[in-house]
Every structure is written in C-alpha cells, then in structure tokens.
A and B are shown apart, each in its own frame.
Chain A
Amino acid sequence: MEGASINRDLLLEKAQSLINSLESPETSDEQLESVIDEINNLRDNSLFNELGKMTREIHDSIMNFRMDSRVSDLAEVDIPDAKDRLEYVITMTEKAANTAMGVIEEGSPVAEKLGGEASELKAQWQKFRRREMSPDELRAMGHDLESFFDESEQMMSKLLTGFTEILMAQDFQDLTGQIIRQVINLVNEIETNLVELIKIQGETLVREEPEKKKSEETKLEGPQVPGKETSDDVMKGQDDVDDLLASLGF
C-alpha cells in the first residue's frame, strides 16, 4: 500500500536474522517460520499504522466540522429564521392579493352602476336631440343629469382611493424581494458547508450509486419555473396543453 512506509532498519535486522538462521544448519523449521512471521508482522504493523492515521484524520475533520459553530448556527438559528421569513413572504403576498381583490370587488359594481346610468342618460339625450322630449321629461333629465354628475364625482374619487390602495399594496414586491434574497444567501452558505461535508465523506467512503428514481407518475411538482422545467415532457403553456388534449381526442 502506498504511503505505508516500512521501518527499513528493523527490516534489515530481521532479514539478516533470517539469513543467519538459514545459514545455520541447527535452525529448525519452526525457528525459520517464526522469523518469517516477524517480517510479515512488520508489514502488517505499518498497514495498521496507516489505517490508524487515516482514522485520526477523518475524526479530526469531522470534529473540526462539528466544532465550526457557524454550522450549528445554520441549523439551529438561520434555517428556522429563514422559514419564518418565507412564511412572512406568503403572508405579505396574500395580504397584497386580498387588498387588490377587495378594492376590485368593491369598485366593479360602482363602475357598472355609473356605466348603466350613463347609457340611460345618453338615451334620454338622444330623445331630446330628436326633439321628442316633453318639457316635463326635459326637467326630469336635467334633474337626472345633476345627480349623475354628483354621483360621478363621488364614485370617481372612491375609485381613485381604491387605485391608490392597490398601488400601495404593491410594496410587498420590494420587501419580499429583500427577504428572498437573504434566504438565497443562506442557501448559498449551506451549499458551501454541504460541499465541505461531502469532501470529508468523499475522502473516506466509496461513492454509492444513487438509487434509481422511482417511477414518479403521481408526484406533484407544482409550478414550473421557466428554464427550469423538471423534465422534457413539461408543457410550456396552455397552447401545449390544448394540443396534447386535442391529440387525445378532446
């Protein structure tokens, strides 16, 4: 084995003792065997020494790795903290979505109502232009117009307030962006440490063949990220889906 250096002086001594034993006619076979065993042991010992050295190195590497307080901080503090931050991202995006939808749900009937009243007034106005309107009707139209203007004023200002609310709700993008960037940095750090760990393991253990991926027919993958599709048979969009379904007779 390479690196397992044998004590040469000791080997020379043993070798001479072997030659002496061989040359002397009184040496019994048992005595010869014992000398040969001693030489053999010499080799085994250096092998054991080498193994011992390796074990110690592995042990040190592992201890160093565990002693590095950054790693335990990562596991005990940073990762739970990142989870809380990501939860907060969900909360913020959900709140923004609900704010926007709240304004829309309140504003849509308002816009619908104004639109309806405008069409009604338009019809009245056209009747007036055709000179088909009685003085009473004309008075009524004047009254309707006035209240329409009042209502328009109020409702437009309500809609504008709503638009501002939607605008302000978009501040989540900045905040979640910052939080997600922090989490990306954390993931980078974890990656570095994992690579360290794999190096320690890689020096000592034979890499095992990764288990073949199970048939993942029913595994749900969630949204596909453009450019990061998880396999080749991912649909790029609704058109792809429609084509596929059409090919199935839909």
Chain B
Amino acid sequence: MKILIVDDFSTMRRIIKNLLRDLGFNNTEEADDGNTGLPKLQAGNFDFLVTDWNMPGMTGIDLLRAVRADEKLKDLPVLMVTAEAKKEQIVMAAQEGVNGYIVKPFTAQTLKEKIDKIFERIEG
C-alpha cells in the first residue's frame, strides 16, 4: 500500500506519516501542494491519497479534480484532511468525488476510522 501525503506544512505531513506508520502503512511519500503532488501520483503507483485543502500553488480540491479527470488516477481513493469546515466546502468536496473528509484538529482514532471505512467500501 503506497500512500501520498500532500500538505504544505511539514509538521502536519510528519504527523500523518507517523500515524499511518502506526496503522501499518510504511510506504508513504510526501508533497507540499498539488503542483508537486500530481506528477508524483502520475509517475508512481500510489494506492491512496491524503491531501490538505488550503495550500499555496495547487489546492487540494483542484488536486482532487485533476485526479478524477485523469484516466489512470480517477479511481484513486482520496481522503481530505483539512481545517476547512464550512458546509458548502464539504458538500463541494463530496460532489468532486472525495472518499473521506477529516477536519483538523483530528485524532489518530478518526484517521484510522476513515481509512478503514474507505477500504471497507472499496472492497465491499
């Protein structure tokens, strides 16, 4: 299971990376916004994307749109982990095809639950 973590703050990437490792996901890579993340996704065989929303350069929602528009990536599960908590934004992310949405600040338990739920759905 190869996971890409996209967030502009290195500390947040590090936190998510550590939490994912605790959950048994050791194969992770990082990018600091959509512009650096998308080429990584297109080049590597990623199985999962965890992305922030508000980033300089390419935002998470634009990255999500780019992923869904890409023939090779369109089925990639995407989990959004963001401080954006407005209803219309969550609705927008859902409409663009996000698989899970976590608002910061979040707990390790929440991350585990959402990831489990996403895989349950994909496998089920």
Contacts and interface: CB of A to CB of B under 8 A. Distances in A.
Interface residues of B, number: 26
A244 B11 contact: no
Contacts of A245: 90, 94, 101
A233 B11 contact: no
Interface in B84-114: 84-92, 94, 101-104, 106, 110
A35 B110 CA distance: 90
Nearest to B109: A238
A235 B11 contact: no
Contacts of B94: 245, 248, 250
A51 to B, nearest CB: 50
A222 B54 contact: yes
A241 interface: yes
A108 B53 CA distance: 30
Highest count of chain B CB atoms <10 Å: which of A94, A220, A233, A250: A220
Contacts, number: 62
B6 to A, nearest CB: 15
A204 interface: no
A164 interface: no
Interface in B57-91: 59, 61, 83-91
B18 interface: yes
B2 interface: no
12 contacts: A94-B10, A94-B11, A97-B11, A222-B84, A224-B83, A224-B85, A234-B86, A235-B85, A235-B103, A238-B102, A244-B90, A248-B91
Interface of A: 94, 97-98, 101, 104-105, 217-218, 220-224, 230-231, 233-235, 237-238, 241, 244-245, 248, 250
> Shortest 7 CB-CB distances between A and B: which pairs?
A233-B87, A223-B83, A97-B11, A220-B54, A235-B85, A248-B94, A224-B85
